[in-house]
Amino acid sequence: MARRTKRIEHDNLDRWLISYADFVTLLFAFFVVMYSISSVNEGKYKTFSSSLSSALSNQSGAASVAPALNQQEQILKALVDRRTARLGEQQRKIQERMKALENGVSQVMLPMINQGLVSVSQNKRGVIIDISASSLFKTGDAAIQPEILNVLRQVAAVLNKEEQPIEVEGHTDDVPIKTAQFPSNWELSSARASSVARMLIDNGVQAKRLSVVGLAENQPLAPNDSPENRAKNRRVTITILSPNVERSEENARGE
């Protein structure tokens, strides 16, 4: 009788790659989530994805990992795109809000703007109101003149509708002052900024929103080489700071 040869089946020595691929996929998914939360920078995303793809493609068994890797790349890109879109929409709303604030301030200060005593503008930091010191104070004084109080009250009413921090800066020209009350332009600029801040507080603006600084002659708008330019440099600047997008998102989530 012919002897039947027993066939010995050899274990597939490459089966470990399946478990390894699952482990790599789960580990990659974890870092995908962490990375997408911490950053939405498209350049960083491309660098990260390319580097990881290159590293894995050079390892043995990379062919079995590739489908999972491509899927995770798609998930990562979807998360990044979703977060980018959300932040873009939030930024758009903030810009609209700051533009409305600029328009509101401009409206109540329009007569002074037309006289060249006030300028209202907007940049990345926020809405900036430059008020000529000549319309606010007498020469060498820090007491607000009564005739402008009504305008400032209207400005305060506009600011009361917002919650952003407000910076009040006092500026002078380069002509030195030396009196018993104001030994230098530092004291004068600080006192003038404080007077405007106190006026806003007295009309409902929360004190915790305000910060005050006197900058003397150190941040001129124009060279101090003529009476006209010196008049431009003597001013009080009110800056309503624009909300930070990331911080606004955290606040919206209650973090």
Residues 51 and 114 in one domain: no
Residues 43 and 165 in one domain: no
Residues 74 and 161 in one domain: no
The answer to whether residue 143 sits within a structural domain is yes
Residues 69 and 136 in one domain: no
The answer to whether residue 4 sits within a structural domain is no
Residues 135 and 47 in one domain: no
For residue 119, the surrounding DSSP H or E stretch is: strand 118-122
For residue 235, the surrounding DSSP H or E stretch is: strand 235-241
The model's pTM: 0.65
Q: What is the pLDDT of residues 82-134, one digit of tens each?
A: 666 666 667 778 788 899 999 999 999 999 999 999 999 999 899 999 999 99
Could you say which of 47, 62, 91 is where a domain stops? 91
Residues 149 and 233 in one domain: yes
Q: Tokens 């604030």 label which residue? A: 101
Domains held by the chain: number: 2
User: CA 209 to CA 163: how far, in whole Å?
Assistant: 7
User: In whole angstroms, how far apart are CA 232 and each of 112, 217, 219?
Assistant: 14, 11, 11
User: In whole angstroms, how far apart are CA 169 and each of 88, 186, 213?
Assistant: 31, 11, 5
Q: What is the pLDDT of residue 107?
A: 94
The answer to whether residue 136 sits within a structural domain is yes
Which residues in the chain show pLDDT less than 50? 1, 60, 62, 245-255
Residue 118: Cβ-neighbour burial (10 angstroms; 0-12, 13-18, 19+): buried
Q: Count of CB atoms within 10 A of residue 151's CB?
A: 19
Residues 239 and 148 in one domain: yes
Q: Which domain holds residue 76?
A: 16-91
Residues 213 and 147 in one domain: yes
Structure tokens at 252: 């919206």
Could you say which of 60, 91, 122 is where a domain stops? 91
The answer to whether residue 30 sits within a structural domain is yes
